[in-house]
Amino acid sequence: MHTGDVIVELLKALDVRHIFGVPGEQTLPLYDAVARREAIQHIVMRDERNLPYAALAYSRLSGKIGVLDATVGPGAALLTLGLLEALHSTTPLLAIISDLQTDVHPMTYMGAASQGTDQPLLLRPAVKWVGKALARDHVPILVRQAMLHAASGRPGPSAVIVPRDVFFADWPDPAQAHELARGVQPHHGRYPRQRSIPHPDAVEAALRLLNESSRPLIVAGGGVLHSQATAALLTFAERFGIPVATTLTGKGAIAETHPLALGVLGGMGTTAAEQAARAADLLFFIGFRSAQNSTLFWTLPLPGQRVVHLDIDPEQPGRFATCDVELVGDARATLEVLLERSQQQERATGREAWNQQVAEYKRAWEKELAAETRSDARPLAPQRVVAEIGRVSTPGDVLVGDASFSSGWAAVYYQLKEAGRQVLLPRGMAGLGFGLPAAIGAKVAAPERQVFLLAGDGGFAYSLSELLTLKTYGIKVIAVILNNRSWGWMEWVAKLNFDQEYFALPDVPFARIAQAAGLRGVRVQDAGSLADALSEAVRADESTVIDVESAVWEAPIRSYREALRNRQAVTKTGVVSST
């Protein structure tokens, strides 16, 4: 028995069922231990950059900590972008990373030892916590600490670094591994681990403000989904009669067909949500980290608006704007406390005019949405493409959006018929290439659910090698590529500010590439062909890549479209400026 066996026994006790990895010589004990057991499946991918994305999607859908492994040097360095995505989007991961053997550590600096570097220093900005095992007996202690750090408080990634000699070290007594795992419980690998509630005085103050408000709006962030608080949110919104907008990562906090739901708030969002946010006299932020899109580049809250902010992280309320009431606690537990306390108080009245106004905002947006999604123009408008995905999907299916415009198209135009985590977007670092590996992780976590991927041609090209992972493991993903042969967002900014088109890309034959990888691939040019291709892909048993000829001059950012119509430039924040 070696250290790899000990790690696997600990992971089994934590109810880990999948690990995403790219092997290296130093991590082979982990692969050996997994191969000799049936409890855990190793999903071996083609590029370390994609491991955190797959593990992140797996974590968000499973409610467990996502686990990944990579080897020393290049493997560790390639993880950093994905770990930062998880850190900034509050997703718990455990990265198991190998290192050179301990007796050559003095030679790892300045390239004296091949692949050697100061890995804790390299990883520290990208994780909540990192520990390095300098001896065999350190490993189980550090693995347990890493899992606790990842799932406690505001979730995030943790890393354990294991040098080669420690990884290969013998453990003479096999019973010792089982003994070490005894103190580990399955709930240690899930989140949220604990559900805290705010101080009673803060709860009472929040209820007073909510009852005094005549035009309140809830803005539900990703913390609502992390906390599994969708049912509590719906009950709260209905009892108080408060409309609900969501952030990009909070999409799914409420069914978007519900009369109180206004869709995503932000520059990549619905007109209804923005109008309500600007007209509200109180904003109730829940599981919300004050990011740029959902605050309209930190212009919300507006002067005079009252703010109640609920978050598990005490550093979030009041971070960028004055907060009238700070509620530090778990979203679900706190909403349940608010509901319980509200039963002892009179219901707020006098919101009929506000509710009518919000309903008008929503009707106007739905009219706008219907017009955009019916377009038969060629090349196809992305709005129509997303609408076609919506027509073949069923409640509970998952849509993964890649970074850039794909995230906006998925967030704004894919309408959720029920609450829950059904849309996954990269909003931590928003790096291109998130889509395909995240779709793999999503399908591994939820094999019974249909997983769609929406990506641009530029972003999809980042992770083409993972088509081979789909084939290797028989993972089914329906990938829809918005192929406009350009770096879409950059093309728009160049056009609006410099009246230039710099970034024409070659017309990559993605369908043929998919076929070469042993998957299904089809190229479509019109809405009818797209509808047929999607229906066939849903019925198929294997992955399909649908390469859609799509329009360049469509954007999910409303200010960009307005600027193009008026031949105006845009600022960094996306606000139209005079030329």
CB 140 within 8 A of CB 10: yes
Phi, psi (degrees; rounded to nearest 5) at 283: -110, 125
The per-residue DSSP string of 167-179 comes to HT-B-S-HHHHHH
Tell me the backbone φ, ψ of residue 211, rounded to 5 degrees.
Answer: -75, -30
CA nearest neighbour of 70 among 47, 38, 40: 47
- How many residues can be counted in the chain? 579
Rounded Cα distance between 279 and 276, Å, is: 5
What are the residues whose beta carbons fall under 8 Å from the beta carbon of 206, sequence distance 6 or more? 284, 308, 310, 325, 327, 338
Q: Note the pTM of the prediction, 2 decimals.
A: 0.95
Q: Give the pLDDT of the chain (579 residues) as one tens digit per residue.
A: 999 999 999 999 999 999 999 999 999 999 999 999 999 999 999 999 999 999 999 999 999 999 999 999 999 999 999 999 999 999 999 999 999 999 888 887 777 788 888 999 999 999 999 999 999 999 999 999 999 999 999 999 999 999 999 999 999 887 776 677 677 888 888 999 889 999 999 999 999 999 999 999 999 999 999 999 999 999 999 999 999 999 999 999 999 999 999 999 999 999 999 999 999 999 999 999 988 899 998 999 999 999 999 999 999 998 888 899 999 999 999 999 999 999 876 666 678 899 999 999 999 999 999 999 999 999 999 999 999 999 999 999 999 999 999 999 999 999 999 999 999 999 999 999 999 999 999 999 999 999 999 999 999 999 999 999 999 999 999 999 999 999 988 888 888 888 888 888 899 999 999 999 999 999 999 999 999 999 999 999 999 999 999 999 999 998 888 888 888 888 766 666 654
Site of tokens 């004055």: 322
> Cβ neighbours of residue 121 under 8 Å, at least 6 residues apart?
none
CATH class assigned to 200-361: alpha beta
Are 3-189 and 200-361 equal in CATH topology?
yes
> Can the peptide bond before residue 192 be classed as cis, meaning omega within 30 degrees of 0?
yes
Q: What residues does each domain of the chain span?
A: 3-189, 200-361, 374-577
Q: Domain 3-189 has what CATH class?
A: alpha beta
The strand pairing partners of 294, in sequence order, are none
Per the structure block, which two tokens stand in for 66? 């996502």
Contact 550, 484 (CB under 8 A): yes
For residues 317 and 221, what is the distance between their CA atoms, to the nearest angstrom? 13
Three-state SS at 376 = coil
CATH-assigned architecture of domain 374-577: 3-Layer(aba) Sandwich (3.40)
